[in-house]
Amino acid sequence: GDLGLKEGIISSNKYINGYKNTVEKLQSIDKKVIFVIDTPSFKNSNVPEVCAPHPLPFRSYFHDYPDFCSGLKNADLHPNKLYGKFVSQLSEVTKNVLFYDPNKHLCSNGNCKLFHENKLLYTDSTHLSIYGSQFLFKDFEKKLNNSN
């Protein structure tokens, strides 16, 4: 099936070598390369919609939110093992590349944030909200400043 084709592409090293060559070309013209790893994605495609607070705040008290609204567990996340394998292989074959993993800022102790300061971090199961992007950028900026 489709997964076998994707695994074949990754294991053939053509994909990895393409990234490696791109990184090396950028570095040869004195560019710093940063690889931002994907954020966690959810199995349930309507997580943010289901968990969003009601526009009338008092109505939220009467709404029965699913458990995952208070924090997504590993079982709620889409396991993207193939992508993890790709990132791992890429980090092994590239030098002087900063890999930024937003999961370390979004998730801790097996629990991933959906909200920060009562604001949604995602617009759908795979994309950050504007607020979520700003939230992650603050952490990214710290990591970038510490790497120099």
Tell me the pLDDT tens digit for each residue of 33-75: 999 999 988 877 666 677 776 666 665 566 666 677 777 777 7
- The more confident residue out of 26 and 83 is 26
Q: Which residues pair with 33 in a beta bridge?
A: 97
Full-model pTM: 0.78
CA distance 20 to 9: 15
Q: What is the per-residue pLDDT across 112-124, written as a single tens digit (0 to 9) for each?
A: 888 888 888 988 8
86's tokens = 């790709």
